[in-house]
A and B are shown apart, each in its own frame.
Chain A
């Protein structure tokens, strides 16, 4: 748990314009009330079960495990299990958080919803819950992301959302977040900002984590039912870090369970990348203190990843803290390695993953090959790849 001002060690906090402070304090007050209200939990659980389709399956990737063992040293090749959050309604883990936040928005009497999106998965999930509850939805999306995520753009429009292109800066997720914050500060009375990742001002990192923790809670129970024990290693891709913290958090007290967060190394850590923990430094952006890609004057650098969902120069504050205390490990995977991971899962398991978890898959293959065969890796398949087939075709030089 963060401290009363939302600090995870030196990270987190509430670095926002004064105009937003009363709102953020109010949000925290309402969140505490919701946490204490069994009716809130009942409604959340009910929607997750009957609307989202939870619990998502836990799947043993038999052929992928065998494939890794072929090239691994003798006796090596851990068992690979996937938490299938790509099977959720809307195709990613993002919907878990959106259900929680729209229920909060309704409790607070807010009548207008805004969101930022990178890959478009959070935008689609937000547009979905807005349609479900009949609230107007405005999604800020960078022009570069709009170009590479056209299927999600159309989905949002079908769902009745207004997508507002953001041209400023690099035209990606961070610029969309700037613009969403500008909207919010000008519409404080009626607007609820559904932040898509476990970042931003307190209490967002905490509440997004809590809503996403359903991933880890289910996985922890499922793996014990299926194997009679806890996994040895958890793996998840990290942009802002919401699917990773959702998987990790319920296992934090299980000292023998290792955790690995996989950042996007883009073209490599010495070139353009999005690995703010591996290649960034602590700083303040978008309402929290966290690791950022930045220069010596604190100007924010543009991130790069083939995956729009990881293309962000920061990371949720709790990950910075987990790294600092040594509870989780963080590594990175390049665009090319992620593309290999993407194809590997298609070929061996008949699952087309999103480019975001393709980073996790590449890291899983790498880790599994160094672990004994009786070890268990549990990775989160946080999104499906339908949205990415054009990007992948382009990267592989294939004609559609």
Chain B
């Protein structure tokens, strides 16, 4: 079993948390990652900042600007990941970002760095299955899961294409839109997850717009994982370099709700 499949094999839904690497600065990120783990996160998504995050809403756009303004480089991200792996041998770490920073030095270079740093999976926002060749073969060759996104526009005809070459888990972007905005209706989430589960054995994690413990618990009842990003990023925006404590408290609150959801 991989670290990712173990994280999704528990009786409760997995809690997947997102923060942007280097936000608010490179030095603060390790403590924030530790806070996520201590608060109860089962999977960490570490965002790779990009100058042009066109799928992200205002919260994560601002986090990208803060991180790049703080001077983070791709080499810092792999250092953060490798150090995290040393401190937390069991917690899966997924890099999430855009195709250009991931492919600029070549897909093989990126996959090899992921492998060396103990990264478990990669989510590339602007790499649909049609462009898999730009990154997919290199990641699979290095034993890194390529986690694909399904959306409300992914109908039955589209789904097999998305699942081909996908591994780790399926990330259901429950709202057609950018990150951190409105949340999808529970019924539509439930319907979508049910539909995906009929087609794949991959765990299905649901995200976009999830902020409250109640929302997280509702999703945890029907999906294999709950993804929370912008809400955590907002806490970091508010508390800056001292955000770790507040992040841990927030994550713990949502974790408790998720853990109790199926009781």
Instruction: Show the binding face of A for B, using Cβ within 8 Å.
Output: 5, 13-23, 168-169, 174-175, 177-178, 181-182, 185-186, 188, 283-287, 289, 292, 294, 296-300
Chain A neighbourhood of B130, CB < 8 A? 5, 13-14, 21
Chain B neighbourhood of A15, CB < 8 A? 99, 126-128, 131, 134
Q: Does B85 contact A (CB under 8 A)?
A: no
CB distance from B253 to the nearest CB of A (A): 29
Chain B neighbourhood of A175, CB < 8 A? 52
A21 close to B52 (CB less than 8 A): no
A297-B74, A299-B68 known; A18-B103 Cβ under 8 A: no
A22-B155, A297-B73 known; A283-B173 Cβ under 8 A: no
Main secondary structure of the interface of A (DSSP, over half): mixed
Chain B neighbourhood of A181, CB < 8 A? 54-55
A289 to B74 alpha-carbon distance, docked (Å): 20
Contacts A/B (CB < 8 Å), 12 sampled: A16-B128, A17-B149, A18-B148, A19-B176, A21-B128, A22-B158, A283-B103, A297-B74, A297-B104, A299-B68, A300-B52, A300-B100
A178 close to B54 (CB less than 8 A): yes
CB distance from B23 to the nearest CB of A (A): 15
B153 close to A188 (CB less than 8 A): yes
The answer, among A16, A177, A296, for a CB contact under 8 Å with B126, is A16
A18 close to B104 (CB less than 8 A): no
The residues in B between 174 and 199 inclusive whose CB is less than 8 angstroms from any CB of A are 176-178, 181
The residues in B between 54 and 113 inclusive whose CB is less than 8 angstroms from any CB of A are 54-55, 57, 61, 65, 68, 73-74, 98-104
Chain B neighbourhood of A174, CB < 8 A? 52
B128 close to A14 (CB less than 8 A): yes
The answer, among B65, B126, B158, for a CB contact under 8 Å with A287, is B126
CB distance from B26 to the nearest CB of A (A): 13
B73 close to A185 (CB less than 8 A): no
A186 to B68 alpha-carbon distance, docked (Å): 26
A234 to B172 alpha-carbon distance, docked (Å): 49
CB distance from A174 to the nearest CB of B (A): 7
Which residue of chain A is the closest to B173 with respect to CB atoms? A19
Chain A neighbourhood of B158, CB < 8 A? 21-22
8 smallest A-B Cβ distances: which pairs? Answer: A298-B104, A186-B177, A298-B101, A298-B100, A19-B151, A284-B99, A178-B54, A18-B149
Q: Does B50 contact A (CB under 8 A)?
A: yes
A255 to B33 alpha-carbon distance, docked (Å): 60
Known: A15-B131, A19-B152, A168-B61. 9 other contacts (CB 8 A): A17-B126, A18-B149, A22-B158, A186-B176, A186-B178, A188-B153, A284-B103, A286-B52, A298-B101
Which residue of chain A is the closest to B99 with respect to CB atoms? A284
The interface centre, meaning the residue of A14, A19, A23, A283 with most chain B CB atoms within 10 A of its CB, is: A19
B52 close to A22 (CB less than 8 A): no
CB distance from B123 to the nearest CB of A (A): 11
Per-position binary interface string of chain B over residues 126-162, scored 1 when its CB falls under 8 Å from any chain A CB and 0 otherwise: 1110110010000000000000111111110010001
Which residue of chain B is the closest to A15 with respect to CB atoms? B126
Q: Does B125 contact A (CB under 8 A)?
A: yes
Chain B neighbourhood of A20, CB < 8 A? 153
A22 to B256 alpha-carbon distance, docked (Å): 37
Chain B neighbourhood of A5, CB < 8 A? 130-131
A294 to B101 alpha-carbon distance, docked (Å): 10
A299 close to B126 (CB less than 8 A): no
A14-B130, A16-B126, A174-B52 known; A185-B178 Cβ under 8 A: yes
A22 to B98 alpha-carbon distance, docked (Å): 19
A14 to B100 alpha-carbon distance, docked (Å): 13
CB distance from A292 to the nearest CB of B (A): 7
A17-B149, A21-B153, A300-B100 known; A285-B52 Cβ under 8 A: yes
Chain A neighbourhood of B101, CB < 8 A? 297-299
